[in-house]
Amino acid sequence: MSSLRREAPPISDYEALDGSGKCTDEPSCSSDPSKDSSSCTSAFAFTILAINCGAAIYHSRRDPWSVAFVLAAFLMLISLFCALRLFESLPRSSPRRSHVKAGVWVLSTVLTILFTYRVAALMPFPVAVVVWAMSVFTILAGFYMFFVCSDEVKAAPEERPAKVSDMA
């Protein structure tokens, strides 16, 4: 007869086992901005974004307002990516973190309004109202999540990994 083996629940991304079988607080897939894979991914994303913006500028080269829109969106997206990288690299106790968080929210709000304006201009009035309402909801939800909710999210009891003593 084969013995039934009790399988351990999967370990979350925030608790990886080290060689001794003890849990560490290091994520298994690090999002550290100084890692090579992260900078490689960022360079790839920037290249795709730049090519896309270049193509959009080329196709709308006879419309200066469209070119200005693409350039403004491109610069704001680059600024947002840089601000997000800075935010992630700052320690949680840094007083600068709240200022960078505000900058991230402002940049994402301006981008939301910019894109909503362009999309709503192409829609019939009732649909444009819905698009603007969704935009306002997104902006307010972002503000709530960034500034009203606490930074520390606690896992629900069923999401916490079981201790080694609980698995035996």
Confidence of residue 125 (pLDDT cuts 50, 70, 90): very high
* Residue 154 falls inside a structural domain: no
pLDDT 10s digits, 130-141: 999 999 999 999
* Residue 13 falls inside a structural domain: no
Mean pLDDT across 64-75: 94
* Residue 104 falls inside a structural domain: yes
Range of the domain at 79: 36-148
Three-state helix/strand/coil letters over the chain: CCCCCCCCCCCCCCCEECCCCCEECCCCCCCCCCCHHHHHHHHHHHHHHHHHHHHHHHHCCCCHHHHHHHHHHHHHHHHHHHHHHHHHHCCCCCCHHHHHHHHHHHHHHHHHHHHHHHHHCCCCHHHHHHHHHHHHHHHHHHHHHHHHCCCCCCCCHHHCCCCHHHHC
pLDDT 10s digits, 19-43: 444 444 444 444 554 555 677 888 8
* Residue 30 falls inside a structural domain: no
Q: 121 pLDDT exceeds 70?
A: yes
* Residue 12 falls inside a structural domain: no
Q: What is the pTM of this model?
A: 0.65
* Residue 54 falls inside a structural domain: yes
* Residue 95 falls inside a structural domain: yes
The count of structural domains within the chain is: 1
* Residue 29 falls inside a structural domain: no
pLDDT of residue 22: 47
